Chains A and B, each alone.
Chain A
């Protein structure tokens, strides 16, 4: 695919982010027992105000990293989406090992979120950063097992081959534990709900507690972009990506991405967040063995 794909990817990210804003407002209003209209109208007004707002700084921050962290985060989302195929042979970056590139994106998110929390030189962001690293590592390990499991039936590390391997049966059926495990990874990558250890309520917003004006808007936008990129990858690896009858491939991928976004938004608003040590214990003691069994089962099925 040529460079003409860049505007298309940007459009896909923007459309997905707008959908998340709507879904979030609807879910929140439904649970709160309030009409969704005012929530929604306010969100867009809110975003416009943020962009024109003033940047307030802290004492002696690491300014370069503070400003760059949202840009890195957004760039990682774009890089992740670039390996997602929108049709046969239609991925911006075609690599024989493209699923490994996605794995690198996941690992670098931990670095970027840490930088974002460390650079303002303030206690709440720093605590958020520490906590995110503590949960980030044990989240990456199940992610690795899940992605390797998905690569086994394809006998390839190419995302394109993983999609093609699902022509007979989607991975969500063949490997039923894969998608739920991967969704937990996604909640962590996008700092949402039960896995929001960096930007949490008990830290008054954690790593973004000191963000103001356009920098705050940028960080929130980058979170949304990463959510869209993650959901497109989840739809590709577990729901057959662009495969489907009648409709064109990109449309199928968009529909399946929207489905994953809905699952993510529901999990955000319905599940509580455990304290860190309880979550870390859960990740190492329960989730890691489960993901290993998942990989074992996936391997036996693929034989």
Chain B
């Protein structure tokens, strides 16, 4: 449950993730996971030109009056609204919080209409041959296909996720087919963007994993320690994290990397690095897309968070068009 200051959605680009984590600790702001809950959109860091449409969609989901703040970011062409925030974290937090009440609203960039023409059959798209209803607004009826896990045939659902999901590395885009919450196929469209040095500390890498395990307060404590001194050994903090039982909560043998490690052992390695005050040992994911197939959504998110952003980037030749499909 969100606590704190002005609710803000941060659309993070490149070279800024550590700074965004520092922004999270500012009491004037609460970073939220969805633009629906945000009063201000903060666009932070280097933006890929190809992410313009995704950014415009996020902007359109804010409620009115919309307010956008650009922080350490270059504006893509066409985005001539919003205001620039000061560079420093504390000044930026005060500035962003003030925008919540000062904005006079911004027009959306996209058409507020259906994504495709209506090609449905019947008044609600329920008519036609076998009541299949044609393709209303470009979306045919979801059909069942074979399931990878237990043979229970569920409706397959395909969608593109990213690049601004706050629970994923910024910039990562994947086309995914899901049945229930089990991933059936993955195509990695874009690799994550390179980030600042702070984001590569074991503190912040563990913090990203802890948030996925619903331990946001401890994650904040890790970020605080990293901001104070990332090179200092933090054995007490590592012990506090271990005592939550997070290693037992992570399934064993989840996503084996090329040297045989799994999510649990990579996390244990990060905890060791944290208590010794050194960087974590490197790992090579191998074929990342193949690794995610058959996993549940939550497990897949844990797998992504168990590698450093540089390791993920190394595993994906960007712009990769790697296709991996499960056995049908």
Contacts and interface: CB of A to CB of B under 8 A. Distances in A.
B37 A205 contact: yes
B30 A201 contact: no
Contacts, number: 153
B7 A46 contact: yes
A123 B220 CA distance: 28
A204 B27 contact: no
A122 B1 CA distance: 21
Contacts of A1: none
Contacts of A275: 250-251, 296, 298-299, 302
A272 B244 contact: yes
Contacts of B61: 56
A192 B86 CA distance: 37
A127 B157 CA distance: 11
A53 B61 CA distance: 13
A204 B38 CA distance: 12
Interface string A185-203: 0000000011010001111
Interface string B199-219: 000000000001111111110
Residue from B166, B211, B299 whose CB has the most chain A CB atoms within 10 Å: B299
The majority secondary structure among interface residues of chain A is helix
Interface in B155-213: 157, 159, 165-167, 178, 180-181, 210-213
A274 to B, nearest CB: 5
A49 B3 CA distance: 13
B115 to A, nearest CB: 8
Contacts of B100: 49
- Output the residue of B100, B181, B251, B299 with the most chain A CB within 10 A: B181
B249 interface: yes
B79 interface: no
Give the one of B218, B244, B249, B298 with max A CB within 10 A. Answer: B298
A34 B220 contact: yes
A34 B34 contact: no
A86 to B, nearest CB: 28
A204 B166 contact: yes
B34 A201 contact: no
A88 B249 CA distance: 43
Contact of A202 (B25, B157, B301): B301
A39 to B, nearest CB: 5
Given A46-B4, A272-B215, A273-B214, A127 B33 contact: no
A252 to B, nearest CB: 28
B81 interface: no
Contacts of B217: 27-32, 269
A216 interface: yes
A46 B2 contact: yes
B214 A127 contact: no
B74 interface: no
A130 interface: yes
A214 B161 CA distance: 27
Contacts of A196: 214
A232 interface: no
A40 B27 CA distance: 10
Contact of B27 (A42, A131, A223): A42
Contact of A38 (B27, B32, B216, B251): B27
A204 B63 contact: no
Interface residues of B, number: 55
Interface in B122-177: 157, 159, 165-167
Interface residues of A, number: 57
A245 interface: no
Contacts of B210: 272
B64 A54 contact: yes
A269 B244 CA distance: 9
Contact of A33 (B36, B62, B221, B251): B221
B95 interface: no
A31 B221 contact: yes
Contact of B213 (A28, A30, A211, A272): A272
Interface in A47-67: 49, 53-56, 59
Contacts of A202: 167, 212, 297-298, 301-302
A221 B246 CA distance: 29
Interface in B271-328: 296-299, 301-302
Nearest to A193: B214
Interface string A2-35: 0000000000000000000100110111111111
A30 to B, nearest CB: 8
B68 interface: no
Given A42-B3, A56-B36, A277-B296, A130 B180 contact: yes
Q: Closest 10 interchain pairs by CB?
A: A38-B27, A31-B217, A32-B220, A54-B63, A272-B213, A204-B33, A272-B249, A42-B4, A212-B36, A202-B301
Interface of A: 21, 24-25, 27-35, 38-40, 42-43, 45-46, 49, 53-56, 59, 123, 127, 130-131, 193-194, 196, 200-205, 209-213, 216, 220, 223, 268-278
Given A31-B217, A31-B218, A59-B114, 5 more contacts: A32-B220, A39-B4, A46-B2, A272-B210, A274-B250
29 contacts: A24-B1, A29-B217, A31-B218, A31-B220, A32-B220, A38-B27, A39-B3, A39-B4, A39-B27, A42-B6, A42-B27, A42-B30, A46-B30, A53-B39, A54-B63, A55-B63, A123-B178, A200-B214, A201-B33, A204-B34, A205-B33, A209-B34, A211-B37, A213-B63, A220-B1, A223-B1, A268-B214, A275-B251, A277-B296
Interface of B: 1-7, 25, 27-28, 30, 32-34, 36-37, 39, 61-64, 100, 114, 157, 159, 165-167, 178, 180-181, 210-218, 220-221, 224, 244-246, 249-251, 296-299, 301-302
